[in-house]
Amino acid sequence: MRKFLLAVFLLSSAVSSGAFAQQRSGTPDEQKACARDVQRFCRPVIDQGDFTILACLQQNRPKISSACDQVLKSHGQ
């Protein structure tokens, strides 16, 4: 569970390279918006790094929650 929470935290901070440069972490609301989707769709790749998780969410875009989709859109993804 610790790795999952760390991955969500890092994902939120690295959703885009521009967002990463400007902000080290996503807001708690952004983290919460994608936490369930990361756990549901990307659990097998949590240990493979933030950009792998981002790619996983993008690959599962039709299935992720609208809240997580909005987070990705707000970070240019």
For residues 74 and 20, the model is more confident at 74
Kindly state the percentage of the chain with pLDDT values over 70.
68
Tell me the pTM: 0.67
For the stretch 39-58, pLDDT in tens is: 999 999 999 988 999 999 99
List the chain domain ranges: 2-74
Kindly list the distances between the CA atom of residue 45 and the CA atoms of 21, 51, 66, in Å, as whole numbers in the listed order. Answer: 24, 10, 22
Query: What is the spatial distance between Cα 23 and Cα 74, in angstroms, rounded to a whole number?
Result: 13
